[in-house]
Amino acid sequence: MENTKVGVLGGGSWATAIVKLLTNNLKQVNWWMRNEESISHIQSYGNNPKYIRAIQFDTDRLNISSDMQEVVDKSDILFIAIPAAFLDTTFQHFKLKGMENKIIFSAIKGMVVEYHSIPARYFHKEFGTSYDNIGIVCGPCHAEEVAKEQLSYLTLGCPVEKTAQLGADILACRYIKTFTSDDVFGAEISAVLKNIYAVAAGICHGLGYGDNFLAVLISAAIRETSDFVDAVHEIHRDVKSSAYLGDLLVTAYSPHSRNRSFGTMVGKGYSVKGAQLEMNMIAEGYYATQSIYEMNKKFDVDMPIAQAVYRILYDGITPVVEMRILAEKLN
């Protein structure tokens, strides 16, 4: 396993955390990031100057480059952690070759906004990569807690059990427990939805709703998740497991959650644009809300929470009014 050729595409917090985990087990990790100054800083000082500076890398194990094709060529397995909002424009710029032969694990918790598509479908159509070689990394796990080496759990999903296990093995360490799943579509859609529900939880928190209401909101959110993923891809799955319910809970309740923080600001009266500028980070739930809204035009699943978030973020409905209406629908 030490000689497995692995690359990471992305320079943000999740990419940084994944690189940290990989260097626990591998002699060499190939890492693409766009920012040349960040690359130089990491090579000189061993940490990412923009994201989770507490993570200290063994730079002898890193091959960092701003040439994405170089990283792809040197890797058999790729972990992709580029924000969904920038995924298509990034790949259109680099025009990669040879991706059809790679194993891809997506650590992207959002929809490809240009196509309202989950990353697995995008990689299959854009690169010709077989679905058997496309997987997903699911939580519940915050990058900030990986930096602190706090006990966390990851699920690696792929239709081929052997491939899912390969991903699980190269990420596992003393503080990361890993599991496998064959439900890539359900897990990816759930990962998208949990960001929307975290925005909803943040809006309610910002409005002053208490823990009792949030418990009802999140209980309804997991039922909404179950209804939607069953409509989109009906296979047997247990949405009460950590990859679904656990990931939803940590995203909806944790102070580390960008989507909850974004929602809290909206609930407190920030405009959507103002909240985005204040955070200076990507809240995937904002983009996911529109993608799920468009996607649900086909499936027509009753999704009152997701619809409420859409009306607040995109129709400009006052959060106070919309959440009062939603509160009457929950049980």
In three-state secondary structure terms, 210 is: coil
Token couple for 295: 């996607």
Residues 96 and 208 in one domain: no
Rg (CA), the chain: 19
The pLDDT of residue 256 is 87
CA-CA distances (angstroms) from residue 171 to 47, 110, 111, 255? 19, 21, 24, 25
Parent domain of 61: 6-181
Instruction: Tell me the percentage of the chain whose pLDDT exceeds 70.
Output: 99
Which letter does DSSP use for residue 7 in this model? E
Please check whether residues 151 and 210 belong to one and the same domain.
Answer: no
CATH number of 224's domain: 1.10.1040.10
Sheet with 62-65: list strands edge to edge: 62-65, 29-32, 6-9, 77-80, 103-106, 134-138, 152-157, 176-181
Mean pLDDT along residues 279-306: 93
Using DSSP, state whether 225 is helix, strand or coil.
helix
More confident of the two residues 13 and 3:
13
Q: 170 pLDDT band (50/70/90 cuts)?
A: very high
Do 150 and 217 belong together in one domain?
no
On whether both 40 and 153 belong to a single domain, the answer is yes
Q: Is residue 279 scored above 90 in pLDDT?
A: no
* Shared-domain flag, residues 27 and 81: yes
Residues near 38 by beta carbon (within 8 Å), at least 6 away in sequence = 11, 48, 49, 50
Residue 331 to residue 324: CA distance in whole angstroms: 14
19 and 143 co-located in one domain:
yes
The pLDDT confidence band at residue 2, using thresholds 50, 70 and 90, is low
Domain boundary pick from 181, 203, 226: 181
Cα–Cα distance, 57 to 47 (Å, whole number): 6
Assess whether pLDDT exceeds 80 at residue 174. Answer: yes
Statement: residue 280 has pLDDT above 80: no
pLDDT of 207-235, one tens digit each? 999 999 999 999 999 999 999 999 998 87
pLDDT averaged over the chain? Answer: 94
Please tell me the predicted confidence (pLDDT) of residue 199.
98
Phi first, then psi, for residue 74 (nearest 5°) are: -90, 0
Mean local confidence (pLDDT), 42-47: 96
CATH number for 119: 3.40.50.720
Contact (CB, 8 A) for 154 and 168: yes
pLDDT at 1 over 70: no
The answer to whether residue 51 sits within a structural domain is yes
32, 33, 38: which is closest to 50 by C-alpha?
A: 38
pTM of the model: 0.91
CB-based burial, 153-191: b 16+ in 10 Å, e otherwise: bbbbbbbbeebbebbbebbbeeebbbbbbebbbbbbbbb
In a domain, residue 1? The reply is: no
Residue 139 sits in the same domain as residue 256: no
Task: Give mean pLDDT, residues 149-172.
Answer: 96
Distance of CA 286 to the CA centre of its chain: 13
CA-angle at 225, arms to 208 and 331, nearest 5°: 50
